[in-house]
Amino acid sequence: MSNINELKLAQDLIRFPSVTPKDAGAIKFLKKKLKVLGFRTTILEFKDKKSKPIKNLYARLGNKSPNICYAGHTDVVPPGNINDWTVDPFKAVVKKKYLIGRGANDMKSSIACFVAAVDKFLKGNHKFDGSISFLITGDEEGYAINGTKKVVEYLKRKREKIDFCIIGEPTNPNKLGEMIKIGRRGSLSGKIEILGIQGHVAYPQLLNNPINTLINICKKLKEKKLDNGNKNFQPSNLEFTRVFVKNKAHNVIPAKAEAQFNIRYNNLHTSNSLKKKINLVIKNLCKKNKCRYKVSYLENGDSFLTKPNKTILMARKIIKRITNINPKFSTTGGTSDARFIKKISPCLEFGLVNKTMHKIDECVSISDLKRLKDIYKNILIEYFK
């Protein structure tokens, strides 16, 4: 009989230095753990000419409906300067009742909690009526090209039905139990290139400085308020993340100036409606200043909202019972793989406290690990009643 401990499993997972796109053995290790519990497991490796190959895992226990799925990722962001850490980021050290390591918070510990929860659930409910599945990717922190997006396409081709999905992202700002994510803002990235006429700085009348036009475009786009938000979403926001001119000479007006930006937007927009607005501003100002331009976009998923259904309300009751906090429903924060999964299943996001994710000395409270495992186990019990 297996006896999976959430802390031990979290440490084991953290010890794989699986910085996107490297897997470092994490997916294979998790596959073995789930096989011991009786899961049918499939490693799905996707690649294309423009991106690195990524290992993903889909595992299922049971053949019947309903199928409740847990989704997460084993990849992590780089640790940064290792000398700034108080411990080795991939040694998974416990200090003062906290587990420290890259991925402790985002989100290997959550995966460990769900596996341990399934282990405990099966001991008392080995003949449960339905299925439990795992959808684990190694490409959530990167470009998400060969990760969950392609696994979802694979599941659709296989007619594999998921009835509800729990995504284990760290959702709580300060204390376990504060927040359930039931939607996310969309994300649209863009790059603007303005092409002018290069020449000697002393003769601006003979030239066309692309920097001037780019500054005007940035100013116009920042001044243009996208919306005021609504009851489910905060206002949409455009931020410039880079302005670049490849020119080291102080006496030359450059031929090209570039800027990149990202918009986090609510359900009052789509990526297409935003692109039309941005393109119009750029087109009008470039026409006025007689500049040529190029615009390219990277779509990271439209906004979405899952209306609280019976399962979401049940999960909130369990979280309140175990944490003594009534979690609020939210759509704040960045993007997650829920943007792909929502195409095939209703979902919620609930995991650990996100205060230290991506930081030096990323950590999680050991008592939170136990409580999260209990929350997940009780959700399984109630779901299959």
Could you list the active site residues?
A: 75, 140
In contact, 371 and 322? CB cutoff 8 Å: yes
Q: Could you give the 3-state DSSP secondary structure of residue 382?
A: helix
Please, which residues have CB within 8 angstroms of residue 205's CB and are 6 or more apart in sequence? Answer: none
Closest C-alpha among 164, 147, 154 to residue 69: 164
Place of tokens 């109630």: 382
DSSP codes of every residue in 119-182: HHHHHH-TT-SSEEEEEEES-SSS--SSSHHHHHHHHHHTT---SEEEE----BSSSTTSEEE-
CA distance 68 to 382: 12
How many CB atoms within 10 Å of residue 311?
A: 21
Per DSSP (E only), the strands in 170-246 are 179-181, 183-184, 186-195, 199-200, 237-244
Place of tokens 């000697």: 200
Kind of pairing, strands 131-137 and 164-167? unpaired
How many CB atoms within 10 Å of residue 107?
A: 28
DSSP codes of every residue in 262-310: EEEE-TT--HHHHHHHHHHHHHHHHHHTT-EEEEEEEE----EE----H
Closest C-alpha among 132, 182, 122, 155 to residue 56: 155
Q: Position 102: which residue type?
A: R
CA distance 190 to 278: 10
CA distance 48 to 227: 37
Helix axes 26-36, 108-124, angle to 10 degrees: 10
